[in-house]
Amino acid sequence: MFELHAQLAADTSQIAESDLNLLLLMNDQNYPWCMLVPKRANIKEVFQLSRNDQHQLMDESSLLAQTLMDSFQAHKINVAALGNVVPQLHIHHVARFQDDAAWPKPIWGQVAAIPYDNERRDSVINTLKLSALDKYFSF
Amino acid sequence: MFELHAQLAADTSQIAESDLNLLLLMNDQNYPWCMLVPKRANIKEVFQLSRNDQHQLMDESSLLAQTLMDSFQAHKINVAALGNVVPQLHIHHVARFQDDAAWPKPIWGQVAAIPYDNERRDSVINTLKLSALDKYFSF
């Protein structure tokens, strides 16, 4: 049975859900940074998902990436499935800006996270709620 | 018209090709590290590809990741589309090991590349040639 990994639960807010994925917001206001976590048990790699799930993941990942780009007027979207520390499959989607804290480097290991206050978190979540994400996701 | 970005050409060897992608081997023997580059002009983000191309990219990416895992007995595969410096869409696929130079951190910005000598490069390429990659790729 699928259960969200404790580390992912501790580092994020769950903001929405599709048939396939949880949509999580990373608690770091350095960047609009979301994760997709397929609700499938014991999956560490994308290729372990069924082909149908892989294609659905691609559809949802692309919608999320385009939404982050459009909603936050980002310069670039970074998408990554790493998982060297937390094995449960989770796919990072990070909106990047030429003046962000780590630009142009990848974000991992660059600067300490800055946790959201409630007001800023609500603002980001509301922006995503009002986007095209409702094609797949329920908030 | 599609043309491989000069920086990607300088950093890699082109080892195979599918209908959609170039398959490149990064010139760094720290890790078996491949890239897929869709042969489509002016594409910076996965979501800019057609939906058919996105699904084909997923199929080829999963085959490549599983092949790297199986052929090199890797512990984890890292898959990432970053592109903050080189804008042409390229998707990293890196076989990771618990004793590799950057484990468990993401590889970017960790240790300097160690260029291949011809013998070691040929060995990696031959391993990939003898794999299931020929489902999509011509070497």
pLDDT in tens, B75-113: 999 999 999 999 999 999 999 999 999 999 999 989 999
Q: Would you say residue B1 lies in a domain? A: no
Q: What percent of chain B has pLDDT over 90?
A: 99
| B139 has pLDDT over 90 | yes
Mean pLDDT value across residues B55-59: 98
- pLDDT, mean over chain B: 97
Q: Would you say residue A63 lies in a domain? A: yes
B125 touches chain A (CB under 8 A): no
Chain A residues near residue B105 by CB distance under 8 angstroms: 84, 108-109
Q: Would you say residue A1 lies in a domain? A: no
Q: Which residues of chain A have pLDDT under 50?
A: none
Q: Would you say residue A113 lies in a domain? A: yes
Report the domain count for chain B: 1
Nearest to A29 by CA among A130, A97, A83, A131: A97
Inter-chain touch B84–A78, beta carbons under 8 Å: yes
The Cα B15–Cα B123 span in angstroms is 12
Chain A residues near residue B104 by CB distance under 8 angstroms: 84-85
The per-residue pLDDT for B82 is: 98
Looking at the predicted complex, does its ipTM rise above 0.95?
yes
Nearest to B82 by CA among B109, B55, B64: B109
The per-residue pLDDT for B9 is: 98
Inter-chain touch B81–A84, beta carbons under 8 Å: no
B2 touches chain A (CB under 8 A): no
Nearest to B59 by CA among A77, A83, A49, A66: A49
Tokens (6 digits) for B2? 């599609």
Q: Would you say residue B63 lies in a domain? A: yes
The per-residue pLDDT for B65 is: 98
The per-residue pLDDT for A97 is: 98
CATH of the domain at B118: 3.30.428.10
- The dihedral over CA atoms of A99, A104, B4, B74, expressed in degrees to the nearest 10, equals -140
The per-residue pLDDT for B109 is: 86
In terms of residue numbers, what domain contains B44?
Answer: 6-135
A84 touches chain B (CB under 8 A): yes
The per-residue pLDDT for B114 is: 97
The per-residue pLDDT for A109 is: 86
The per-residue pLDDT for B38 is: 98
Identify each DSSP E strand in B1-139 by its residue range.
Answer: 12-17, 21-26, 33-38, 76-81, 91-96
Identify each DSSP E strand in A59-99 by its residue range.
Answer: 76-81, 91-96
Q: Would you say residue B36 lies in a domain? A: yes
pTM above 0.90? yes
Nearest CB neighbour to A65, from listed B47, B63, B85: B47
